[in-house]
């Protein structure tokens, strides 16, 4: 299997970091480009409760927070400095944005954690992001499972 590019969606959960560890290893072995994607949830329902100015401020703060977290990834994973990588942020429904990213910027492999940050209300409304990506993506998907911590 030819791998020239890898996409790793992240929600900054431990599961997504575990997936990133695997993706970094593959990128080193294959000498390929790694793209890290974070999707800020579309919180348009807040628009009804906030003024337009407050809503825009909320969106900007969420974007800034995501940028800071993405920059911390390089500190957390020093091996990132040894590979070609980029990261970016999109806004919307995570699985929709991830699938759109795959379609517009085709990759050879998507590496994603089996579970992300959990919000039962969002999970009920949107369903499992990972499941939808696995079912709909037209590329290879590697789903990683974080080892359970011993009690």
Residue spans of the domains in the chain: they are 5-144
Do β-strands 33-41 and 140-144 pair in parallel, antiparallel, or remain unpaired? unpaired
Q: How far apart are CA 109 and CA 74, in angstroms?
A: 21
User: What does the alpha-carbon distance between residue 40 and residue 48 come to, in Å, rounded to a whole number?
Assistant: 18
pLDDT tens-digit series, residues 28-52: 999 999 999 999 987 666 666 778 8
Strand partners, 79: none
Fold of 5-144: Rossmann fold (3.40.50)
CA angle 90, 127, 59 (to 5 degrees): 30
Average pLDDT taken over every residue of the chain: 87
Q: How many residues does the chain have?
A: 151
Place of tokens 């695997």: 22
| Least confident piece of the model among 3-12, 54-63, 109-118 | 109-118
Q: Tell me what pLDDT residue 42 has.
A: 74
Evaluated on CA atoms 5, 10, 12, 18, the torsion sign reads: negative
The predicted model gives 94-107 an average pLDDT of 96
Helices marked H in the chain:
14-30, 52-76, 94-104, 120-126, 129-136
Asked whether residue 123 carries a pLDDT value surpassing 80, the answer given is no
Determine the pLDDT at residue 47: 60
Is the pLDDT higher at 71 or at 125? 71
State yes or no: pLDDT of 151 exceeds 70: no
pLDDT at 53: 87
- ∠ CA 67-51-49 to the nearest 5 degrees? 90
Q: Which residues partner with 37 through β-bridges?
A: 9, 88
Round to whole Å and give the CA distance between 83 and 106.
19
Please, are residues 13 and 118 in contact by the beta-carbon 8 Å criterion? no
- Mean pLDDT, residues 71-78 taken together: 94
Of 2-11, 44-53, 85-94, the least confident: 44-53
């Amino acid at each position: 299997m030819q791998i020239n590019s890898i996409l790793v969606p992240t929600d900054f959960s431990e599961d997504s970091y575990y997936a990133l560890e695997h993706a970094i290893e593959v990128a080193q072995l294959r000498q390929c480009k790694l793209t890290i994607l974070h999707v800020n949830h579309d919180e348009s329902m807040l628009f009804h409760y906030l003024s337009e100015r407050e809503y825009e401020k909320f969106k900007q703060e969420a974007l800034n927070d995501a940028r800071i977290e993405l920059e911390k990834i390089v500190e957390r994973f020093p091996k990132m400095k040894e590979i070609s990588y980029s990261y970016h942020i999109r806004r919307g429904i995570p699985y929709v944005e991830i699938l759109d990213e795959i379609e517009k910027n085709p990759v050879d492999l998507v590496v994603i954690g089996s579970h992300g940050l959990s919000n039962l209300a969002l999970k009920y409304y949107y369903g499992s992001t990972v499941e939808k990506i696995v079912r709909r993506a037209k590329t290879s998907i590697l789903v990683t499972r974080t080892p359970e911590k011993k009690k």
